[in-house]
Chain A
Amino acid sequence: MREKRTRGERPLPEDVIAELASHLEDCYEELRLQGAGEGEAVEHVLGLVEWQDLSSSIYGSRHGWRAINERTQQLWLPGLVTLFAANLLLMVFGRASESWIRGAGPAGAYLLWLATQPLIGAIGAHLSRRAGGLPRARLLASLFPSIVIVGLGVFVVLPACLLFESNTWAAAHPISLVLRGLAWVAPAAVGLLGGALPFLENCGFEGNNLSLRTTRQ
């Protein structure tokens, strides 16, 4: 087993080797008790394991890669898609307000951008659901742009105003600053939520994942 272990891309730790060896030993003894010859039993037992796959699989389980991969597909990737799409559209409408929708101005560009938020929220929730995400993950994925903006405002912009810029207005009115930020973010969050709502219910088979809604009896 040690020889096999060293050949793998992901070497197995000693305690795992010892445990797998003891399992194979038990398999071997059981086969011998059932009347198998020594050579036959050894051959059978060694054939039980696809070493490369096993070592990758055990490595993934011990380091939590399976859970991380799941979370990435169900939350982080859809969340990043919504964040990218929301910011891209904001930039596009911002630029457009300087040219072809000049009459509308920044407020018009913002309203146009708000109108696209349900679509973005729907995309985020759909991508999460397709990856097997539960309603909570779908909701977070769709609201991701607003969550990021609030997080940046509270943990980066506000402290920067207070500590580095010595912004006296922000220092005097921190709650007002946060409320103004929320007033800017809240309509977008409502739009994102509106788009996500149809995807928050479980409704049958989706992609490769089983998702059923049952009635409690």
Chain B
Amino acid sequence: MKRPIDSRIVRGSAELAIIALLEKEPLYGFEIARRIEEDSGGALRFTLASLYPMLYELERRGWLKAQWERNRAGRDRRYYSLTAKGRKRLAPLRREWKDFFQALDRVAGVARA
């Protein structure tokens, strides 16, 4: 079955990283950036200017919700968690990325490189 990959997939790479991370637990901005950097071995890095516009965009779409809570250090932080709508988007996004890498692998042999 032929199926088109969303052309916005390239720009949407950060979306998948964020919502996949928030599937496990609610986190605040700084933690999100740090966890993505750590989990990717430093390959993926969010700057302040790339992270927050993305978080607000996802919040506006209704994929994330945010609320102020105290962190372990006793400071107020804005924690983001995945909504039901965001959770529903996670599986299709994962599938699109899988398709994308399979296509790239067929073209460039990246998995064998």
Contact = CB atoms under 8 A, between A and B. Distances in A.
Interface of A: 15-16, 18-20, 22-27, 48-50, 53-54, 57-58, 60-62, 64, 66-67, 70, 132-135, 202, 206, 209-217
Contact of B56 (A23, A62, A209, A217): A62
B53 A60 contact: yes
Interface in B36-74: 47-49, 52-54, 56-57, 60
B4 interface: yes
Contact of B7 (A48, A53, A132, A217): A132
Given A16-B52, A210-B10, A61 B30 contact: no
Tell me the dominant secondary structure on chain B's binding face: helix
A57 B54 CA distance: 9
B36 to A, nearest CB: 14
Given A22-B30, A49-B48, A58 B53 contact: yes
18 contacts: A16-B52, A20-B52, A24-B48, A25-B75, A26-B30, A49-B48, A53-B49, A60-B53, A62-B56, A202-B5, A206-B7, A210-B7, A210-B9, A211-B4, A212-B4, A212-B100, A213-B2, A215-B2
Contacts of B9: 210
Nearest to A210: B10
B52 A216 contact: no
Contacts of A50: 49
Sort chain B's interface into a size bin: 20 to 34
Contacts of B99: 212, 214, 216
A103 B1 CA distance: 52
B77 interface: yes
Interface string B1-28: 1111111111000000000000000001
Q: Which 5 A-B pairs have the closest CB atoms?
A: A26-B30, A61-B56, A61-B57, A61-B53, A57-B53
